[in-house]
Chain A
Amino acid sequence: MAPLMNLVRLRGFPILQQLHLEERMLRTSSANWCIINDGTTSPAIVMGLSGKVAELVEAKSVLRDHIPVIRRFTGGGTVIVDQGTIFVTLICNKDDVSDVQPFPRPIMSWSGQLYGEVFKGLADFHLRENDYVFGDRKFGGNAQSITKHRWVHHTSFLWDYEVKNMSYLKLPTKAPEYRLTRDHTDFVCRMKEYLPRSEFIERTIKAIEAQFSVKSINLESTDIPSSSEFVHTTRLLTEQELLDACTIQT
């Protein structure tokens, strides 16, 4: 019998709250969860756990335009997310995906196969150096967090993006090899050029249903502890931290 996967569908949910929810689900729940958030409220920059803001973000512009900068609990790189971003998160008990070793590369490979099913027949989809690409253009960025018995794999999909938002991000010092010397606009592509938003979400749910018994749950019905009862790793950077980054950058 296929293991149960609780599906929580959100729209326009703030990304900081989503990441906090994911952390609590990973650490306090024993269920499998899929969160699909169809666009977040307003632009935010999200760095991985070890991200150094002075190296990754144009601090002066970010302060000037009041763009929140978040450090998340998972690894990986820096993204700018907004209403054009679709988030899909999978939080699994390792024993419910027992043919996948609970290490980064096997989990990444498993996710690549899952999304291979989503885009089958539609586009030249690949998992390439931990990114989801059509051809050689990135449209999805991944990150994970692995605990003793559970793991989370989450993806931010570029449904659409504003070119001007990319200017808040510096070119990372560590870039995948396939990027070559391409700047943002030549490196990424928009999912909307390939399939409708709703079709992507429905295809994703269908791919998950091939491996799990999916049950839709309202956010209010989840028995996850409230934010106030948990100490999160994910946090919003302070104005002082951004000012310090400005100082380093001048």
Chain B
Amino acid sequence: MARHTGTFGSKLLPTVLYMVAACSAIPITDLLDRASQRSDQLHSLSTTLTQDLDSHLPLTVRLTLPRPSVCHTASLQTPNDKEQALQVPESDLLSLARSLLQAWEDPLVFLSTSANFLPHPAQNAISNKIQELRDHSKSLGDGLNILSGKMGPGARTISMLPYTGGNDVGQDTISQLINLNFLLSCFRRDSHKIDSFLKILRCRATGLPQMC
């Protein structure tokens, strides 16, 4: 029996080494390409979700009633315009993207649980889309983790941005909708940030400006 496992182990090790080598042989451009595709999907999904939620809420109500003004990720310093963004080193860009994505892990859980009780006509569709959001977010996070290993020590740092919104979604229907709407808009923006950073990184990685 020992000999049997020994042969199996001896076969396993080269296989693992081969796979590791093959994985590391995927060029960064391809990895970034995949990641940016994933982030693009994520942002599109969040956009449609916000539009679905907004459709039920009258515009006047939305504007007049008070709403929380600051997203929980606002504390993270991100570039404000193109010049600033293009000056940020790549590892920092990746770190920002990873931090943002990490910051939305818990709020998305909260979103999905509260979407189950959403007083909205399209509640089922919204609930499904939120679940999709979570799946995409998870796979993107995994991809970025892999990428971070290849882009320098700065890429591995993640800023913690705890979600302080709590689990209180509001008492009445309107406030519920407003709070959820606000949360989704914050997510939409952050997903756009992640998408932009990854596309900048992708273009830089190719080295051919005309290919971007």
Q: Indicate, yes or no, whether A interacts with B.
A: no
Interface residues of B (CB under 8 A from A): none
